[in-house]
Amino acid sequence: AEEERKIAEKERLRREEEERKHAEQERIRAEQEKILRAQKIKKAKKAALIFICLALVIVAVVKIYNVIAAKHSITQAYEMIERGDALIPAYKFDEAKQLYDTACRITDDDDVHKKVQEKQKDLEEAIQAAESEYNNALRRLQILLDADDNEFNQYSNECLDKMIAIHPEAKTTQYF
């Protein structure tokens, strides 16, 4: 019985030792898993931080690009307005109107839109003035037709030049 007790004691000690080893291995494994989890969380935080930083950089770049593009379109719009202004004295009203319309389309800037509205009013006034000039030149030509040939030749070219500049395609202009 003593031997059996010794064998049972050894077996119990062996099992306790195995349980201790197993418990130690489980503790080590749990500790390693805890360290791995902490590392994964750290990596995930770093990745999230990098992603957030990249997103902020992208948003900033897009905003800067939009600001630059808006300023560029405003500059282009003002250049178109100036080119349109230069066309009015040459009686190129349709081209000037197209430039003003394009200037409005390429930007949402309120100042540009107000400027174009002013220019379109000026354009309408210039068109009315040109029509008046055309009609005056036409009346003068008709009067000159009744005058003698020397007087007609002297002033008719001036009137015709004015009429051609304003309405080169008009039937009346082409008739004369």
Determine contact, residues 77/117, Cβ cutoff 8 Å. no
**What pLDDT is stored for residue 168 in this prediction?**
75
CA dist 144 and 12 (Å) reads 139
Q: Over the stretch 25-71, which tens digit does the pLDDT of each residue have?
A: 999 999 999 999 999 999 999 999 999 999 999 999 999 999 999 99
CA distances from 81 to 88, 108, 142 (A): 11, 15, 38
User: In this structure, how many other beta carbons lie within 10 angstroms of the beta carbon of residue 91?
Assistant: 20
Name the pLDDT band for 22 (thresholds 50, 70, 90).
very high
- Tell me, yes or no, if the pTM score tops 0.75: no
Tokens encoding 15: 């099992």
Q: Over the stretch 82-110, which tens digit does the pLDDT of each residue have?
A: 999 999 998 899 999 999 999 999 888 89
Rg of the chain over CA atoms, in angstroms?
46
Per-residue pLDDT at 142 exceeds 70: yes
By 3-state DSSP, what share of the chain in percent is helix, strand and coil, each rounded to 5?
A: 90, 0, 10
Determine contact, residues 131/173, Cβ cutoff 8 Å. no
**Nearest Cα residue to 91 out of 117, 116, 128:** 128
**What pLDDT is stored for residue 155 in this prediction?**
67
